Structures are given as structure tokens and as C-alpha cells.
Amino acid sequence: MKKMIIASTSTIYGSEYLEYLLPTLKDFFKDIKTILFIPYARPSGISYDAYTQMVKNAFGAIQMDVKGIHQFKNSKEAIQNAEAIFTGGGNTFELVNQLYKNDVLSTLKKVIAQGTPYLGTSAGSNICGVNMMNTNDMPIVYPPSFTTLGCIPFNINAHYLDPIIGSTHKGETRETRIKEFHVFNNIPVLGLREGSWLEVLGDTITLKGKYTARLFKQNQKPAELASGELIRF
């Protein structure tokens, strides 16, 4: 049975890295000693070692150890043997590129389906959807495919922002971009606001956190989903 936390972000305003999620993660990763971390997204271009150390420091607060996937000789075996897995945020294009380059995307999908607990934040959440086509990131590299894990039957737009009333900015809003996507694609898209996350237990998907989320479907008006609401299709 799938067991996942799919969060919009790792850090909310005024808090340290993962701090707002730690109470949830302490229960979610109960009885787990070591988490396998996938640092491929490299936020701000930092090294795998530096990123892994940052995650290790955060999980130390709840007495859990962290090992980076790059520290293992065999990436597939590291995923297959992991007690739990965390994929962090950064650039989704580079994350997906490295998952394909290291030939671990299908292995990751398999172990999640078999019940290995999974945490994703930002880019690590984007890859949980059908594809990565609703990321906000710049295409700094060209992955072999936009197809991702497909652990949930919709796409994630992490860090979803609402239009600012009275703003003089004339660029496209997130809603406009998603409408453009739906001209050519019928995959639903969930705009996940900062501080919100999805809890996935088997086929049950529940919105968690303090805020609503915005669900977009092709040729339909967007719907607001309340925290605690089940996401059904």
C-alpha cells in the first residue's frame, strides 16, 4: 500500500528547513531509523553532499539518520533496500533528468507501490504526478521524457500562487499557465499552496495543512478543496 507525503514546499516563511512538517514526519516515519535521500534536484546548484547534510541536520531533530543515494555504489539497490525515501526540491528538469540517467525512476515507482514510505517536497512532489509538465522551473537541462512516477492520477503545481488583487504585473498567472496546459492535455492539476501537503495511503488522497488547494480540470471551473478533504476522481 502506498504511503506518501507530497508537500508543496520544504520551508515556509519564518521557519527552518522542514520544521513545519517535522511533527507530521515523526509520526509518518515512525520506527524508521534511516531515510534514503535523493538530492538530484540541487536547489541553487548546491552539491549533493551539501544538500544531504542539510537534510541530515533537519531529520536529526526527530532522531533519524539520512543517507544520500549518491553515497551508494548501486542506486537501484539503495532504493530497493531503503526503509524510507525522501526526494527534495530544486529544479524538476534536473531531478527527472538524473532519475532517467541513473535508471531508477521505475525502481522508485515500484517500491512506493509496495509500501516504502515516501516524502516529496517541491520538485520531489512534482514527480509524483502523471508527468512533470506543471512545474514552475526553468528547463536548464533536457530530460529524456516528461513522464514521471504516476503515483497519483493528476499533476502537482507546487508553490501555487493566487493573483494579487491590485497588482500591476501583466505577466501570466499560475491559473493562466494551467489553462494553457489544458488546451492540449486533460490531466487534472492540483495547485498546492505553501504549507499544504497531500497524505496518500493506498488509493486514499487527503489534503492536509492549513490552506485550501485549487483543483483544475479541463473545460471546468477551478474548484477549491478544503484541508481534510479527500481528493476523488
Q: What is the pLDDT of residues 70-127, one digit of tens each?
A: 999 999 999 999 999 999 999 999 999 999 999 999 999 999 999 999 999 999 999 9
Tally of structural domains, the chain: 1
Answer yes or no: is pLDDT of 171 > 80. no
More confident residue, 152 or 168: 152
Domain housing 219? 3-225
Residue 168: per-residue pLDDT: 78
Q: Indicate whether 189 belongs to any domain.
A: yes
Q: What is the pLDDT of residues 43-52, one digit of tens each?
A: 999 999 999 9
| Predicted model pTM | 0.96
HSE-up of 217 (CA within 13 Å, CB side)? 8
Q: Indicate whether 230 belongs to any domain.
A: no
Residues 218/182, Cβ–Cβ less than 8 Å:
yes
Residue 54: per-residue pLDDT: 98
Q: Indicate whether 232 belongs to any domain.
A: no
Residue 164: per-residue pLDDT: 75
Residue 55: its H or E element: helix 48-60
Which amino acid, residue 229? E
Q: What is the pLDDT of residues 19-45, one digit of tens each?
A: 999 999 999 999 999 999 999 999 999
**Cα distance between the two ends of the chain:** 19
Range name among 24-33, 162-171, 206-215 with the lowest pLDDT average = 162-171
Q: Indicate whether 19 belongs to any domain.
A: yes
Q: How many CB atoms lie within 10 A of CB 58?
A: 21
Q: Indicate whether 233 belongs to any domain.
A: no
Q: Indicate whether 231 belongs to any domain.
A: no
| Residue 27 φ then ψ, to 5° | -80, -40
CATH classification at residue 144: 3.40.50.880
Q: Indicate whether 156 belongs to any domain.
A: yes
More confident residue, 170 or 221: 221
Answer yes or no: is pLDDT of 159 > 80. yes
| Residue 106 φ then ψ, to 5° | -70, -35
Tell me how far apart the alpha carbons of residues 55 and 18 are, in angstroms, rounded to a whole number.
Answer: 8
Tell me how far apart the alpha carbons of residues 208 and 197 are, in angstroms, rounded to a whole number.
Answer: 5
Residue 108: per-residue pLDDT: 98
Average pLDDT over residues 4-12: 97
Of residues 200, 226, 195, 208, the one with CA closest to residue 20: 195
Answer yes or no: is pLDDT of 178 > 80. yes
List residues bridging with 189 in a β-sheet.
155, 216
User: Which are the catalytic amino acids?
Assistant: 122, 137, 159
Which grid coordinates are listed for 133?
509538465
Which grid coordinates are listed for 102?
541513473
Q: Indicate whether 196 belongs to any domain.
A: yes
